[in-house]
Amino acid sequence: MKTFFATLALGLTGILSMTAFAAPAHAEDKKAVPIHVRGSIVTYAGSTLRVKTREGETVDVAFADDWKVASVAEAKVTDIKPGDFVGIASLPKAGGGDGALEVLIFPPAMKGLGEGSYGWDLKPDSSMTNATVADAVKGVDGRTVTVTYHGKEKKIAIPDGTPVVTIAAAAKDDLVPGAVVFITAEKAATGPIAHQVVVGKNGVVPPM
């Protein structure tokens, strides 16, 4: 498994310099801020991916010259170990602290990618935290992960049923009708232009 991740990471590091999991650009650089398209593939033909978004509209997504594709593979909460680098989308809990919406375990070669905690658009008021796991302990309310980034610390509870995934390989042939996608794109007058596509495979869908 370690060999697999090392080999896979070498090929995917370029893909996942992806702004999909990176911190947003500086406020003054509005054009660099990526947009996300979440939905299911309707058709894939030539240089256009037609997607029915989670909001119910159909959009045509063009591909940038350097676009890449990846997928996700299922992982478990117990796979999260101290020292791992993770990306966790979360929401504030009513009783304080944050509760995870999903967890991405990065392969070791991607450690440090987009480090920080910032606003995310998975759900209203959600945030994304890319950070190193300091400890993972079993508590009365389930598993709580303590992560650190830029000298800061954050505790995030991971409720039962929270999707936990890691990065996996994919090919353009995986872009089939019905497949669930998470797309990082730039906004253009003609519509979104995709730089990275994360596609669901083998029953595992991108939870980001």
pLDDT tens track for 83-113: 999 999 999 998 888 999 999 999 999 999 8
pLDDT of residue 36: 95
Tell me, what DSSP letter sits at residue 46? T
**Could you tell me whether strands 127-139 and 142-149 are parallel, antiparallel, or unpaired per DSSP bridges?**
antiparallel
What is the predicted pLDDT for the residue at 5?
Answer: 37
Query: Which pairs count as long-range contacts for 115-122, CB under 8 Å and 24+ apart, including other chains?
Result: 115/23, 115/149, 115/150, 116/23, 116/149, 116/150, 117/149, 117/152, 117/154, 118/23, 118/24, 119/24, 120/89, 121/36, 122/89, 122/208
pLDDT band of 132, cuts 50, 70, 90 = very high
What percent of the chain shows pLDDT beyond 90?
Answer: 71
Burial class (CB in 10 A: 0-12, 13-18, 19+), 16: buried
Computed over every residue of the chain, the mean pLDDT equals 85
pLDDT of the residue at 94 = 87
* Lookup result for tokens 């989670």: 54
Q: Residue 137 — very low, low, confident or very high, per pLDDT cuts 50/70/90?
A: low
Distance CA 128, CA 21 (A): 8
- pTM of the model as a whole: 0.83
pLDDT at 46: 84
pLDDT at residue 182 greater than cutoff 80: yes
Count CB atoms within 10 A of the CB of residue 9. 17
